[in-house]
A and B are shown apart, each in its own frame.
Chain A
Amino acid sequence: MFLLFVVATLAITFISARKNTGSSAYFAAGRSITAWQNGLAVAGDYMSAASFLGIAGMIACFGFDGFMYSVGFLVAYLTVLYVVAEPLRNSGKYTMADVLAYRLKPRPVRAMASLNTLSVSLFYMIAQMVGAGVLIQKLMHDIPFMQETAGYNLSVCGVGVMMIIYVVFGGMLATTWVQIIKAILLISGSLFLSVLVLRKFDYSFVNFFDAVTQIKMTAADGKQVVKNFLDPGMKFKNPWESVSLGAALLFGTAGLPHILIRFYTVPDAKTARSSVVWAMWIIGGFYIMTTFFGFGAAALIGPDVTNPNPNMSAPMLAQLLGGEFFFAFICAVAFATILAVVAGLTISASTSFAHDFYTNVIHHGKETKAGSEVKVARITAFSIGALSIVLAILLGPKVNVAFLVGLAFAVAASANLPAIIFSVFWKRFNTTGALFGLGGGLVASLGLILVSPVGIFGKEGALFPLENPGIVSIPLGFLFAIIGTLLGGNEPNAEAKFDELAVRSHTGLGAEKASSH
């Protein structure tokens, strides 16, 4: 089952490797992906292990509060659609930094943006790698050398190596198709799982929800209680927690580099727009289904069994309802999910480095030898892969995966989004403002996380009470950008180019069209 998928995707990689000519092909899949294909790819990128395994596990353990993640992840796409999708497509070349560098001094801005992209991608990536490591290790735990941490380390290496192969040889086109296949598998797997859950309840929603409201579990004090899993409050005791997390989700998606970069693979803004809408249908449908396999796991397996291994609740449910075969299928789907997301992240991070930092910062925008930008990207992909393998192993299987993903969202929202918005919509915005916003947002979010209950001082020594810094760091990010702008004085160059950026963003004039093959 596993091997079949692996072989198929490797085949796609090699086929597209042969079609690869030039930067446009490697970085943006030749800009020839259609709307529904890109919609699937975007959806695939977005529905990571955190979504499938993580949310299922959270709902299975904490009921309604877990479902709030599902809601937030979807509504966030409205921010993407209304605010950033089209301006970005119309004005950029390959990366988010392209938009920022349009009006502002390119070198410092690109360097900073590159740093942010790498940071966000790295956090997101390590989370996936840890998830993959745990998943595969548990799957193969019967094999002698796959015990505990050694097994975890081995699986992390395995996933990392596979991912490096995809990206280094296939580039954006291959990873796009991996996303599409994985999205289809994920949706069908979830659909099937949901149907099986409902079947257990005789296809009656009434019966299903009935059971969900009366779940037996062992409370913290050891007593057997019956809890209504539809009630909020099992995880987020402090209401500010859910607001902060919600803010991070709502604003973070529009700042995630690996999502934004998918807009450049379509021929024009209109397709970019429709692909986002396609993605929203798919993602929305998927998250509604988390109701069934998340709450279903709570009802059918029970939180007591799930709790020690929350990430495994979806596969466990599959095993319960469909036997070993379905269990293997769902594990393969989860694995594919992780692989695809990791590939997508690596591509955006390595693109950022090669395009923003290497070509533009170090070599002042001139490609020194034809093809060198692509070569640098491939080397970067390799290095990033290696780095995340090492970090995932160092952090170990017990690190909280959701924490890392929430981090990524908070950083994206605080550091990236203010700069993007101001650059496109505020004439007065200048380079100082961008640097303050990008850097300040990054420092604010990272800093607050380090001193939060999940940071270095632990629960007792925490200086900042919330696990997710969103509600504080996002406004701070905007504030820094504004302060920086005011401190920086007028930048005539930036203001002069505002007209050009405005015309480009709003009419699409001059945007890079699809390359002909």
Chain B
Amino acid sequence: MNPTREPNWSAIAAMPEFQDLLRAKRRFVVPCCVFFSLYYLAFLILVGWYSPMLSKPVLGKVNGAYLFALSQFFMTWIMAYIYMYKANQFDKAAADLLKKAGL
């Protein structure tokens, strides 16, 4: 980047492609955050207030509590993968719009 020439930030921000990118990101990130927070919160709530229900053995002697806890791990990994995938798409969109802006 040429250090003596500041990009016109407001102009870029005003570009419809940029606004689209922001909107797309928001539509992805916000629901995902809500989802994983709720999934984790559900775990905390069930373990806290409904522990007798979770203490019942489900898989052999392993109880629901442990399985629910384990599922949190897989949920996390899956969400991480989804993010990577989506983020690569957003990268492309960002690169395209920068090219359009002449940078």
Contact = CB atoms under 8 A, between A and B. Distances in A.
Contacts of B72: 71, 74-75
B40 A232 contact: no
A506 B28 CA distance: 14
A236 B48 contact: yes
A230 B84 contact: no
A64 interface: yes
Which among B36, B44, B49, B72 has the highest number of chain A CB atoms within 10 Å? Answer: B44
A508 B94 CA distance: 8
A68 B65 CA distance: 10
Contact of B36 (A75, A209, A243): A75
A288 B76 CA distance: 13
B95 to A, nearest CB: 8
A232 B9 contact: no
Nearest to B26: A425
Nearest to B43: A71
A82 B103 contact: no
A83 B80 contact: no
Interface string A252-289: 00000000000000000010011011001100100110
B47 A68 contact: yes
Interface of A is mostly: helix
Interface in B50-67: 51, 54-55, 57, 60-63, 65-66
B13 to A, nearest CB: 4
B26 to A, nearest CB: 9
A452 B71 CA distance: 32
Closest 9 CB pairs of A and B: A239-B48, A499-B13, A500-B9, A507-B94, A246-B44, A231-B55, A232-B51, A232-B47, A213-B61
Interface of A: 64, 67-68, 70-72, 74-75, 77-79, 81-83, 86, 206, 209-210, 212-213, 228, 230-233, 236, 239-240, 242-243, 246, 250, 270, 273-274, 276-277, 280-281, 284, 287-288, 499-500, 502-503, 506-510
Interface of B: 1, 7, 9-10, 12-13, 18, 21-22, 25, 29, 32-33, 36-37, 40-41, 43-45, 47-49, 51, 54-55, 57, 60-63, 65-66, 69-70, 72-73, 75-77, 79-81, 83-84, 87-88, 90-91, 94, 97-98, 103
